[in-house]
Structure formats: C-alpha cells, structure tokens
Chains A and B, each alone.
Chain A
Amino acid sequence: MRIYAVCVYVFLYTPIAIIALFSFSAGRSASQLEGLSVQWYGRALNNPFVMDALGNSLFVAFVSATLASVLGTLAAVGLQGIRGPARALFDALIYIAVMIPGIVIGIATLIALVTVFGVVNPWLEAFWPGSAPAPTLRMGMGSLIAAHTMFTLALVIIIVRARLAGLEGALTEASADLYATPLGTFRQITLPLIAPAILAGFLLSFTFSFDDFIIAFFVAGSETTLPIYIFSSIRRGITPEVNAIGTMVMGASLIMLVVAQLILRRGQKR
C-alpha cells in the first residue's frame, strides 16, 4: 500500500519536478540538462511578449476575481434566506456549474457571445448617436473577464456558503436584538465573520483565472494571456524559457493556494 502511494506521487509529480529542474538548464535544449543557470528566467522576464501576456493574465485574473468575490458573496448571503425546493435547485445548479468541464464552458460562452454580438452590433451601429463610428462588441478582454467571472462565481458562492452555514444563527439574532438594523448586522457581524472565506474565494478565483487556458483559448479573441502564450510558443518548439515561465506560474499559484487555505483554516478556528 505504501509503495503504491509512493508510485502515485512519483507519477504525479515527476513531470512537474522535471520541468522545474530543466528550467535551470544552461543549454538550449528543453529536454537535456546541460549545466545549471538562471539565464532562462532572465530571458523570460525580458521577453516583451511574455510580459504583455503576463500583464493581461494578471489584469483578467484580478478583475474577474474581484467581480466574482463581490457578486458571489452577495449571492451566497441572498441564498441564505431561501428555503425549500428553490434552495435545492440553486444549490444543484451551483455545484453543476463547478463541475462542467472548461471546454464546454469555453464553447458555450463563445457561441453565446457570438450570437449576442451578432444581434447587438447592427443595432448599435444603427442607433449610435453622433458622427463617431459606433463601437462594436467583439471577443477580447471583456468576454474573457465575463467568462472567468461566471465560472469562479460558483466557487466563491460555495466557499462563502460553507462559512455562512457554519456561523451560528443566534449571532445575527443577537445583533438584531441589540438594535442593529439588518444592514448594520451585515456590516458589523456577518461581513467580518465571513471575510476569511471571501478572501479565500478571491485567491482561488484569481488562481483559476490566471492558470486557465481552455476557456481563454475560446473567448479571448486576439488577446494573449500567459497560458495562451505558452501554448503557442510550445508549438514552435519547447525551450527552457517555457519551462521557466511554467515554473514561475506554478510557484505563484501554489503560494496563492496555500495562502487561501491558511486564511480559510484560521477563519474556521474562531
């Protein structure tokens, strides 16, 4: 049993470890280790295409995680007040939303947005006031942020809901009993107590959006995010530079995940 477990972990993590190891290669080959250096990290960080893609990724991740945290928290708090079959339906839909494969979300979002744009754009053109050319809606940052927000919204709702369910119902009653208005209770009691869950939800959403390739590939239009850049550069041949980028992304993601877990756990202890 123990050997079996070891095998599983070796199988899981060896490729990742090799990528991290080869990113320190001094040679030009991504599959042969020829001395150690950090030159590929320097190359990657000086590559304007990489930095541009990184900027896009960070922007999309930050905006979509922020939107998802705010909207998800509001949704979770709102769902608290719903009971019965309606609640069960909402719960089921949220869990399904998390389980739907990224590729399905990607295709579905693409088709939906293209259809909507196809309807809206002629109207915009026809009724746009003034002489300036009417803006056209197209795939890009906006559609990418929207798609990521939709997916991570469900994550935030699930995390915040779990925390809300763990809160003692008597706390909000006690607050109301001590003359706090419903809004006052939310601001002074509920929000501080679910803050760790919101923050954890934000970090998970950020990580998801930052790492996502599949959905971005479908809906990003001409914009390039870091995962899309890595994918396209691999098609031109793997260099240790790709390994270096991958290692940095992985490191950043891991740190965010650990921080999110720590925040959640600290929050639960109280």
Chain B
Amino acid sequence: MTKVAETFSVDGYPRESAKAVPGAVAELRGVSKSYGDVQAVRHFDLAIAPGEFLSFLGPSGCGKTTALRMLAGFEAPSAGTVLIDGKDVSGLAAYQRPVNMVFQSYALFPHLTVGQNIAYGLKQQRPKLPLAGINDKVQRVLETVRLADFKDRRIWEMSGGQQQRVALARAIVNEPKLLLLDEPLAALDRKLRKEMQIELQDLQRQLGITFVLVTHDQEEALSLSDRICVMRAGEIVQVGTPRELYDQPKSRYVADFVGTSNFFDGKIIAVNGGTGQISLSDGRSYRAFLSDAIPVGETACVSVRPEQIRMSDTQSSEALEVTIQNRIFLGEHTEYLVRHARLGNIAVMAPRQSDGRLDTLQKGDTAWVHWNPEAALILRND
C-alpha cells in the first residue's frame, strides 16, 4: 500500500520534460508544425535516449506521423529545433540525416532486386564504399532478417511479410542513429503481425539501434516499447513506460487510450496528500489515489480498470448492487457488462473461479461489485 502511494505521489512522477537529456540520440525542442491554419504538432518537447524503443501512440490525425517525418527530414518544423546526436538538423534535408525509415507501404523500389534495394543506401555514400564491403553487409543483413536466399528476387515475388523484412533490412543495413518506423505492421494480418512484433523486438535488442515507432495500436505500443509517448491533437499528453501509463495515467484520455477502464464522474470533496475523496452520482463518497494535484471542489472522474473490480453473488456492506447486462466467456476469464442504477454501465473482468459460483449468473441477475481504493485513481477530465 505504501509502495503504491509512493509511486502515485504527485512529486514522484518521472518528468517527461523538455530539459536536454544528456546523451540523447535525438531531441525535438519546442517543435511545432502547422499547415495553414491547422496545427499538426504543437510545442513538442521530447528527448530520445540511445538504444531505446520509443513509440508515438495516438489516434489517427494526432500528429504522430508528422512528428516522425520531422525527425526523418521530410517535413521542416514551423518552429523549434530538431537535434540528432546533439547537432541541430532542422535545416538538413532527409538525405543529409543519419536516420532511416521503414515506410507503412514499405516503398520498396519495384525496378530493383531485393539485394539492390538493400544496397541502395550504402551505394549513395560518398566517398564510395568498396563493392565487396557493400555485398558483405547486404549478405549479413539478409541473414539477420532470415532472407539469405532471396537476394536476387524481384520485389513483387515476395509476400507481404517478406517485403516487410526487406524494408527493415534496407533501413538497418545503414546502421542509422535512429530507425523510424511508420506503422510498419499495419498492412500485415494479425498472426504475421504478432510474429513481426517479436522479430522487431529481438532485432532492436540485437542491434542496439534506437527505434522510434508510430502506431495507433495500443497493444503493439505496450508490448514493444520501452517508453510510449501518448499524443492527442498534436500535443504530448504523457510519456512513460508502458507500466506507468497503464497504472499511473495522468488523465482520463491516457487511461482510456491505454487499456480499458471504467470512468465515474464526480466532484472532489477532500484532498489528503496523495489521496482524495470524491463524491459520485450515487451520493456516496469514494477514496482513491490522486493522479495529479486536483483542488477540492473540482469535477473529476474515478478510473477503475475492469480487472480490479471484484464481483460477487452475495451482498456485502461496501459493494454496489448491479444487474448483469451481458457476459462474454473468454476462457481464462469472463467479461461482464453490469449496470448500476446511478453509476451506469460498469465493465468487469472476472478471472475463472474454481468454485464456479459466478458461472450461474445470467443476464438480468443481481450481483454485487466493489473495488479497493488502492485500485481507483482520480483523474482530470480532459
């Protein structure tokens, strides 16, 4: 309990700060990008540590791809500075930057073979690299992505997953400071995507290259990243490790976007250090951790993850009486949608119980739910 309270304390948050991070491999400093009246990216401050796997996560149109393209050099920031390896590259074109990108569409050159595609970046280097050296590197990277026998194949002879690996190989063969990945797995089917996720992660650890991934898939971001930068409407909402974002979201938006959660609107009636009392629409007051310094009297909401809610078929003093609306059996656990007369719908995820008591609950039955205050978090409505 004390441990949880500690991590939740307002001061204890890791700063997703603008301050220059010593040794950062890349940095966006006060970067904005507007197209006419539309601001795609606003006051973006982010430092990327060497060797980390960072994801930009957000719904489409939140500016995550624009941020990535500014790192690559395809877009020039309207304001602010882009630094790579401590050097200001804001004025440099894409071909002058030591970064490489894996495109969503792969953008493989259709008139070149797999080997020629991969060698393309190496062949542009001036002074010229010796041909033997290039061939060597191409062969090695082909082995890394397990396409050793495909060097002389044409691009259109490759499957989607193979093309994806060629695109990866074409980028990593140049040993870039930063590897930028623009929704690289979006075009693959679910099974292949899972495999490629594992491959990506292995590759990143093996090579030690810094990866920056753009995705709208929270599951992908959670499973791959060391850090996730959650974005909304061109702004950074929160930066943190997957666990931080899941357990300590700073706003309703993050709690909603990273994982699923139940939200109950209410008003803060007391604040005591890291915890607060909030009065909800059922007239009762609930104790919960404060995600941020929210003053008394402010409207806010309580977030409780479905897996933190306990459900029972017997009444107890603390529990809320609910009616079962729907249940979905998912093997090791069951998802319930229940309805409280005042609080509305509540999603509950119940693990399989050995006594099987909940299994008899049917739609329309009455049950009781409750959660521990440690599992509830008061968030700003945003």
Residues of chain A at the chain B interface (Cβ within 8 Å) = 168, 170-171, 173-182, 184-185, 188-189, 192-193, 270
How near does chain B come to A220, taking the closest CB pair, in angstroms?
A: 41
Question: Of all chain A residues, which has the CB nearest B99?
Answer: A177
A270 contacts B110, C-beta separation under 8 Å: yes
**In the complex, B371 has a CB within 8 A of chain A:** no
A248 to chain B, nearest CB (A): 37
B95 touches A180 (CB 8 A): yes
Q: Are B94 and A173 in contact (CB under 8 A)?
A: yes
Given the known inter-chain contacts A178-B170, A180-B95, please indicate yes or no for A171 contacting B121, CB distance below 8 A: no
B107, A170: Cβ atoms under 8 Å?
yes
Query: Distance in Å from the Cβ of B113 to the closest Cβ of chain A?
Result: 13
* CB of B379, distance to nearest CB on chain A (Å): 39
Contact A270 B156 (CB under 8 A): yes
- Given A178-B124, A193-B110, does the pair A173, B100 have CB atoms closer than 8 Å? no
B103 adjacent to A192 (CB under 8 Å): no
In the complex, the answer to whether A174 meets B93 with C-beta atoms within 8 Å is no
| Nearest CB on A from B225, distance (A) | 22
Q: Which residues of A contact B99 (CB under 8 A)?
A: 177
B residues less than 8 Å from A174 (CB atoms):
101, 103, 107-109
The answer to the question of B221 belonging to the interface, with a C-beta cut-off of 8 Å to chain A, is no
> Quick check: B74 and A173 within 8 Å, CB to CB?
yes
B174 touching A178, Cβ below 8 Å: yes
Closest 3 CB pairs of A and B: A178-B121, A170-B107, A174-B107
**Chain A residues, Cβ within 8 Å of B94:** 173, 176-177
Query: What CA separation (Å) do A180 and B96 show in the bound complex?
Result: 9
Query: Is A176 a contact partner of B100 (Cβ separation < 8 A)?
Result: no
- How many residue pairs, one in A and one in B, have C-beta atoms under 8 Å apart? 64
Q: Which of A176, A189, A193 has the most CB of B within 10 A?
A: A176
A-B contact pairs, 16 of them (CB 8 A): A170-B107, A171-B107, A171-B109, A173-B107, A174-B101, A174-B103, A174-B107, A175-B109, A176-B73, A176-B94, A178-B121, A179-B95, A179-B96, A179-B121, A180-B124, A270-B110
B111 and A178 contact, CB distance less than 8 A = no
Instruction: Closest B residue to A171 by CB, please name it.
Output: B107
Known: A179-B125, A270-B156. A192 touches B111 (CB 8 A): yes
The residues of B with any CB-CB pair to A shorter than 8 Å are 72-74, 93-96, 99-101, 103-105, 107-111, 120-121, 124-125, 156, 170-171, 174
Of the candidates A181, A188, A189, the one whose C-beta lies within 8 Å of that of B95 is A181
Query: B101 touching A177 by the CB < 8 A rule?
Result: yes
Q: Could you say which residues of chain B place their CB within 8 Å of the CB of A182?
A: 95
Whose C-beta in chain B lies nearest to the C-beta of A173?
B74
Task: Name, among B73, B94, B108, the residue most crowded by chain A CB atoms within 10 Å (CB to CB).
Answer: B94
* Residue pair B107, A180 in contact (C-beta under 8 Å): no
> What chain A residues lie within 8 Å of B174 (beta carbons)?
178-179
Q: Would you call B93 and A176 a contact (CB within 8 A)?
A: yes
What residues of B have a CB within 8 angstroms of the CB of A189 in the complex? Answer: 109
Question: Quick one: closest A residue to B180, CB to CB?
Answer: A177
Instruction: List A contacts of B121 (CB < 8 A).
Output: 178-179
| Residues of chain A contacted by B107 (CB below 8 angstroms) | 168, 170-171, 173-174
Q: CA A198 – CA B91 in complex, angstroms?
A: 35
Judge whether A176 and B111 touch: CB under 8 Å.
Answer: no
Scoring B72, B96, B109 by chain A CB atoms within 10 A of each residue's CB, the highest score goes to B109
State how many angstroms separate the Cβ of B17 from the closest Cβ of chain A: 30
Q: How far is the CA of A174 from the CA of B124 in the complex (A)?
A: 13
What's the minimum C-beta distance from B304 to chain A, rounded to whole angstroms? 43
Q: Roughly how many angstroms separate A173 CA and B97 CA in the complex, as a whole number?
A: 13
A2 to B110, CA, bound (A): 42
> A178: shortest Cβ distance to chain B, in Å?
4
**Bound CA–CA A189/B96 (angstroms):** 18
Please state if A178 and B100 are interface contacts (CB–CB under 8 Å): yes
With A175-B120, A177-B99 already in contact, 16 other A-B pairs whose C-beta atoms are closer than 8 Å? A168-B105, A170-B104, A171-B107, A174-B101, A176-B74, A176-B94, A176-B95, A177-B74, A177-B101, A179-B95, A179-B96, A180-B95, A181-B124, A184-B95, A188-B120, A193-B111
Q: Min CB distance, B74 to chain A, in Å?
A: 6
Q: Which residues of B contact A185 (CB under 8 A)?
A: 95
Q: Would you give the shortest CB distance from A267 to chain B, in whole angstroms?
A: 10
Min C-beta distance of B50 to chain A, whole Å: 20
Among A175, A182, A184, the one with the most B-chain Cβ atoms within 10 Å of its Cβ is A175
Name the distance in Å between A26's Cβ and chain B's nearest Cβ.
53
Q: Is B100 in contact with A170, judged by CB distance below 8 angstroms?
A: no
